[in-house]
Amino acid sequence: MILNTQKYGIIIGEAKNDTMPTRYRLTVYFSDEEILKKLEEWAKEENRSASNLAATILARAVQEKESKK
């Protein structure tokens, strides 16, 4: 799945990890370096990785979208 979202300036690609069939890898490319820096600062404030924070944000966004249906 490839999602190109101009609103957030990101491109997301998802691929199943063959070594761990219950997990998925997600690659995010930021077109705006400032967004990446702010995400990294936010993650540092919460003592977690930027990828963990991004996964949490994305999961919440999906849950919110689903709850509006």
Count of domains forming the chain: 1
What pLDDT is recorded for position 61?
A: 93
**Which pTM value belongs to this model?**
0.62
What pLDDT is recorded for position 23?
A: 66
Range of the domain at 32: 2-67
pLDDT reading at 5 higher than 50: no
Residues 6+ apart with CB under 8 A from 5: 11, 12
Which residue in this structure is represented by tokens 């998802």? 14
pLDDT in tens, 6-63: 444 444 444 455 554 446 777 878 888 899 899 999 999 999 998 889 889 999 999 9
- Contact predicate 54/39, CB 8 Å: yes
What pLDDT is recorded for position 29?
A: 82
28: phi > 0 → left, psi -120 to 50 → alpha, else beta; which? beta
The SS3 call for residue 24 is strand
What pLDDT is recorded for position 2?
A: 39
